Amino acid sequence: MLKKLRVKFILMMMSFTILLLGSIFGLIYHFTAADLAQSSFEMMQAVALRPSRPERPGSAPDSVRLPFFTVEVSKTGAITAAGSDLYDLSDEDFLRELVLAAQADGKNDGLLSSYHLRFFRAVTPDGEKYVFADTSAEQATLKSLIRTSVLIGLGSLAVFFALSVLLARWAVRPVELAWRQQKQFVADASHELKTPLSVILTNAELLQSAQGEETRQRFSANVLTAATQMRALVSGLLDLARSDQAGLSSARERLDWSKTALDACLPFEPVFFERGLTFSYDVEPGLFVLGDAAQLSRCVDILLDNAQKYTESGGAVKLTLARQGKTRCRLCVSSTGAPLSPADCRKIFERFARLDGARHRDGSYGLGLSIAESIVSRHGGKIRAEGADHENRFFIDLPLCRELLHPA
């Protein structure tokens, strides 16, 4: 699919280039031919209507100098020819043939393509005067122009083809990355769903042949646990799919980020207490951002839930929210424990990321931080992790509302 996409991109680029170059060279040819024809006409008109005046060599001419000759036809039909030494004007029958061809055209000027001549007819007191100008130089100029245009065009096409190949790779790269991520996502999701499905099927089969109420209850509990884990995984996948949409699904509005963070902290107080963790928070009031309260609250939930899962009993978790500079604010969730490495700090935001085997034990599938990163990105913010001094910290930086930046 990606190869076909690259080929289509290259074909579109080359088609556009050929059309553009063809139009440019076509216009150049057209205007050059028209200019040559006009110059020839002006020269013939000057010869026919004004008496010729010999010019000194090296002087600037009033018009283009072209090989020409004249044929005067009297009222009685007598033909008199004069002109350049380049032409044999002794054949009166041929000259009369030229005059008849010019008369058959029905115009005062025109092109006799079969003779490679242009003509101009002027009426004189004694009859008619025909000026014939040679077009061989004009045709040679146009042929040279065509050859030059073809060479330039082929060279340009070769250059544009190379550029199109490079641009195709560059343009398709985001699509290729998204395609690979999608394939990996589907593969990872399928793999994760296999485990609870296998547990459910195995326990269901054992349940059918189980003897005794206690044994049945144990197998039923296993099925329920696996089904609960599967529901959590499907819910996480749906959240991730919704966060991957082009924009926020709900309207973005000015919201009290301080209040949203505090409200998200309250449900976790008993959770941390039961796990033997110390939980504290320090939230600067009056910080407003533009966004969706439910989604941003979901981000705080993810960070706090992540902290309570991976902080050992007796540890401490702290949430802070404060202004960061003049235009942004920063929410930080810190927890005690073995610090993450710089590589792990980047990896944990990948979908289905695993740093150890603990995720299977607590039912986590590595989707939460990926969901949080997607939501924060949609809000024009950044999320990152940092591990140092027996502590791990997660930061969410968001832009403040303009009203807060420019108070009345």
Query: For the segment 217-263, what is each residue's pLDDT rounded down to a tens digit?
Result: 877 887 887 787 677 767 766 766 666 554 544 557 899 999 999 99
Residue type, 300: V
Q: Which helix (H) or strand (E) holds 179?
A: helix 136-209
Query: For the segment 361-390, what is each residue's pLDDT rounded down to a tens digit?
Result: 455 556 778 888 888 988 889 999 999 888
Cβ contact 29:144 at 8 Å: no
All structural domains of the chain with their residue ranges: 2-46+64-140, 251-405
> Which one is the CATH code of 251-405: 3.30.565.10, 1.10.10.60, 2.40.50.140, 1.10.10.10?
3.30.565.10
Strands 278-283 and 316-324 turn out to be parallel
What would the two tokens of residue 163 be?
A: 């550029």
What would the two tokens of residue 56 be?
A: 């000194």
How far apart, in whole angstroms, are the C-alpha atoms of residue 70 and residue 79? 10
Q: What does pLDDT average to over the chain? A: 81
Longest dimension (CA), the chain: 136
What is the model's pTM?
0.51
Query: For the segment 173-220, what is each residue's pLDDT rounded down to a tens digit?
Result: 777 777 776 776 676 667 667 767 777 777 777 777 777 777 778 778
CA gyration radius, the chain: 43
Degrees to nearest 5, angle at CA 359 with 236 and 191: 65
Least confident of 107-121, 145-159, 306-320: 107-121
